[in-house]
Amino acid sequence: MTKPRLLITGGTGFIGGSLTSFFREHGYFVEAPKRQELDLTDPQVVRGFVERHQIDLILHSACEGVSPHNSLADELIFTRNQQMFIALNDALPPQGRLIHLGSGAEYDKRFPIVQMDESAAETATPQDVYGRSKQWIAQQIEGLPHALHLRLFGVYGVGEGSHRFITQAIQAQVQGKPIRIRQNVRFSYLWIDDLAKIVERLIETPPMERILNVTPNESITLVELAKLIQAQSSTPSPIQIEQDGLQPEYTGSNLRLLRALGDVRFTSYVEGVVSLYHQLDIKTH
């Protein structure tokens, strides 16, 4: 089977960058231009890029979102996310395909998101522009036979930002500092290598469904993660929880994914934490 030629957007981010490395290591031709190298909101520029590089499949990870470094108003952020998706979809060749990475933020995060299936997002009302943007794209993909929307909840692994909870907690343990938790919450955390392998399988065998939650079988709380991290050291750091109780749960159902792929082996939280801990411990020392 000939491997498709890939365009990966968002390649400077944790997920996009990890997928870029994975697919290059597995023999795929991958273009992953930076923002300044390719304006994803310009249809003509995107079409020209796709044609020049003979792209067969676009893996769309890029997304404008609210952050301290983004001064754009919500309405403009939403519009730019629409423009990016439209430009990429319109640039595909006749047999081209598109895979978009969505988010659990497509549900209404004001309320507990407990083992939610894909259809529950159809009637949800996301409260932030990031979630609304992802939901709008999912709605478009429902009617596109060549496109696939993969809804992610939590993704972790080597290369994630130092502000992410698991990396932050490991760094605190390695440095002998308290592991701080604002408030406990139950999450569906997916190991980044598992995501890459699942995406490759879906490229090789496109599913019938247009939208899939990509989330592991098991969920975990932040306190449980902190205890796994403590267990990696002979001198465990104290866990400090600022607020009692639990935040609304944030987990999704993967039954549709399992029906599409059959057996999927997910990296256990123990395996993932141990791997990430040793990587960060080596860097620290």
Contact call for residues 269 and 218 (beta carbons, < 8 A)? yes
Average pLDDT on 37-47 reads 97
Higher pLDDT, 65 or 17: 17
Across the range 117-137, mean pLDDT stands at 93
Indicate if the pLDDT at residue 98 is higher than 80.
yes
Of 142, 80, 145, 153, the closest CA to residue 115 belongs to: 153
The pLDDT value recorded for residue 144 is: 97
183: helix, strand or coil:
strand
Phi, psi of 161 (to 5 degrees): -65, 150
Mean pLDDT throughout 256-274?
A: 96
pLDDT digits (tens, 9 = 90+) for 170-211: 999 999 999 999 999 999 999 999 999 999 999 999 999 999
Of these ranges, 67-76, 109-118, 197-206, the one predicted with the greatest mean pLDDT is 197-206
**pLDDT at residue 72, rounded to an integer:** 66
**213-226 pLDDT, tens digit each:** 999 999 999 999 99
On the question of pLDDT at 259 being above 90, the answer is yes
Domains of the chain: 6-284 (3.40.50.720)
More confident of the two residues 182 and 263 = 182
Reported as a pLDDT band with limits 50, 70 and 90, residue 127 is confident
